[in-house]
Structure 1
Amino acid sequence: MAQSDSRKQITVGIFILLGLFIFVLAIFTLGGQRKSFVKSFTVSVVFSDIQGLKAGNNVWYSGVKIGTIKKIQFYGQSQVQVFVNIEEEAHKYIHKDAKASISSDGLIGNKIIVIEGGNPKYPFVEDGDRLQVNTTLSTDDIMKTFQVNNKNLVDITGDFKTLSAALVAGKGTAGALLTDEKIANNFKAIVANLQKTTASTDRMARELDQFSKKLNTKDGLADKLLTDTVVFARLQASVNELQKTARSASAMTENLNNATSKLNKTDNAAGLLLNDPKTADQVRAIMTNLQSGSHKLDQDLEALQSNFLFRGFFKKKAKEAEKAAKPQQ
């Protein structure tokens, strides 16, 4: 009887020791997974929306788990402060300008905090520091954007359906082009005219190109005008002479204008003869008297030739004139 009781006690003791061993093993296993026995330091992040974060969620850096969320509490009016424990091994990778953001462990996984290490020029983060918040889009923001895009796509599809129905029915200009043969023919004619215009423009461009090449031909007029200094100097001298001629013509024109203006006035002889009728009559009378006097002078000369006193003189003059008129032998 006593021997049977001792066996039972030994069996119970073995099971108790085995249970304790399993319990201790489970504690170390869970602690290893949660890294409860690893040396760590604490930093905090203040978010406007933690998007369902919970204490115990993981903290990631470059795809590696480096800590867990220790505590969550309200901060200020509407913000939330999250305290995270980070392994001491990751201390040498995280700087004071590091930023933290909320993400998901997969599309439908638990929420996590993702830390970006920051600039190496800054010192390393210390226990109790507060990290900045990375304002990049979170998974929820991306999903919301997808929802908005899907709604817009549905609206666009509906509009396109309405537009295609109107095109098939022949409504609007585009519909008329698709269904009305006359309008389609007119459109074809317009396109043909545009093609002709384009061909003409292209031909004109080629001709202009050929013309410009001819202008650049060596020893040509344009080439000499642009490159030969002698030709340019001669051309410049010709232009100067033309300018002088133009100035002389302008001066002559001005003199003629002055002369004609004087002819229209009565303060000079020519203007008086042209504009004063009385003076003109006097000039006519003088001319008449001169003609009459000349006629009387002719008569007097004839009378002198008939006079016996001057007859010999005039005959001598007549002979000398005849002798001078005869050709010399």
Structure 2
Amino acid sequence: MKGDNKRGIIVGIFVALGLLILVAGILILGGQQKRFTSSIRVNAIFDDVGGLKAGNNVWFSGVKIGTVRRVFFYGTSQVEVEMNIEEKSQQYIRKDAKATISSDGLIGNKIVLIIGGTPKVEPVEDGDILKTQAALSSDQIMETLQENNQNLLQVTKDFKEMVGKIKRGKGTVGAVLTDTMLAENFRNTIKNMEAASKSAARVSGSLSQFAAKMNTKGALANELVTDTTVFRSLRASAQKLRQASDNAVGVTNQAAVITRNLEQTTNKLNSPNSPLGVLMQDEETAKNLKNTLQNLNRGSVLLNEDLEAAQHNFLLKGYFKKKEKEKQKEVEKQ
């Protein structure tokens, strides 16, 4: 009896451990499949799901937010995917988000990846259908890699041929690398460039010294460049020189006008058609003018004598006395 009881206790312990392991496994698997969390149902319709099946994960921004509930055909050739999304993640997924098929790693299981969405749009609700975005399949990726490999092979082949031509001395680069004369010329060119660089450095040093001298305070160049008073004085002097030059031009023009007038006057005086020209050049006219003046002088003397005689005449004596009295009265009034 004791042996049977001991055996029953051992069997009971093992059965209890098995039940505990079974419950733990169920809880773990249920937690991974989000079986015991509140969720909403969201669908998406794809042209090709690439092997996606129920139980695969749904990701958003790198975080697992649900699982694929079932996959079934829609219409004639499309596939509808029904997903369970956690309610606590519902607020982050917007109605304008898109669903695409991706993979967990390079060769991992297929997953549904939710991307995009703007904050201004309302969150998804139970039963919403998301828009989809086509993704590159593994076959397309392999085709792209194969094409890239062929291009890389062609580039490698061309590079190999180019290096072979250079080694054989073909082309400019090959000639430079194999021809000693060209190499010597190239070295001479480098030497000349170094000499030119040194000359340029010396010129630059000279320019720096010259600039330093110009920047020395008190020097004429520095005063001309920096002192506004000197600059204004020079500008005023230039303006005065310009005015003096303009005045000199005006005086020269006036002198030319006066000279031209004197020349015209001289020409008129020398002209036999003018009165002064006749008086200055015609001797006979000059003699007649002289005789006329002499006659006028003599006539003036005789006229004075006649007037003196008239004053002593008893007929005009009263008239002249009357004139003298009037002159005296005017003098007294003054």
**Where do residues 74-153 of structure 1 align in structure 2 (5 Å cutoff)?**
74=74, 81-116=80-115, 118=117, 122-133=121-132, 145-153=144-152
Number of residue-to-residue matches in the alignment: 255
The C-alpha deviation readout for 1:234-282, integer Å capped at 9, x for no partner, is 211221123224434655777799999x8xxxx968999xxxxxxxxxx
Change (3 A) 1:138 1:256: farther
Query: Which residue in 2 is equivalent to 1:201?
Result: 200
**Who is 1:66 aligned against?**
66
Matched-pair contact (CA < 8 Å) for 1:58–1:69: no
Displacement of 1:171 in angstroms is 0.8
Q: For residue 68 of structure 2, what is the amino acid of its counterpart?
A: T
Alignment pair present for 1:159 and 2:164: no
Contact 1:167/1:174 (CA < 8 Å) preserved in 2? yes
1:103 and 1:139 in contact (8 A); partners too = no
Matched with 2:304 is none
Q: Provide structure 1 residue ranges, at least 5 long, that are not aligned to the other structure.
A: 1-20, 273-329
Gaps (5+ residues) in structure 2? 1-18, 269-334
Following superposition of structure 1 onto structure 2, how do residues 21-36 of structure 1 map, counting pairs within 5 Å? 32=30, 34-35=33-34
> Distance between the aligned counterparts of 2:130 and 2:54, measured in 1?
18
Cα distance in 1, alignment partners of residues 145 and 44 from structure 2: 28
Which structure: larger Rg? 2
Give secondary structure in 1 for the equivalent of 2:149. Answer: helix
- Aligned partner of 1:44 in structure 2 is 43
| Inter-partner Cα distance in structure 2 for 1:271 and 1:135 | 114
Q: TM-score, normalised by structure 1?
A: 0.59
The two structures, once aligned, show a CA RMSD in angstroms of: 4.7
Cα contact 2:71–2:79 (8 A) shared by 1: no
Cα distance between partner residues in 1 of 2:218 and 2:194:
39
Q: Percent identity?
A: 44
Q: Structure 1, residues 288-320: CA drift from partner, whole Å, max 9, x if none?
A: xxxxxxxxxxxxxxxxxxxxxxxxxxxxxxxxx
- The verdict on how the C-alpha distance between 1:37 and 1:249 changes in structure 2, with shifts beyond 3 A counting, is same
1:12-47: CA deviation from partner (whole Å, max 9, x where unpaired): xxxxxxxxx9xx989967973645565432212344
Residues 240 and 65 from structure 1, CA distance in 2 versus in 1: closer, same or farther, beyond 3 angstroms? closer
Residue type at the aligned position of 1:70: R
**Which amino acid in 1 is paired with 2:158?**
D
How far 1:229 sits from its partner (Å)? 3.3
Q: Structure 2 vs 1, CA of residues 75 and 268 (structure 1 numbering), >3 Å: closer, same or farther? A: farther
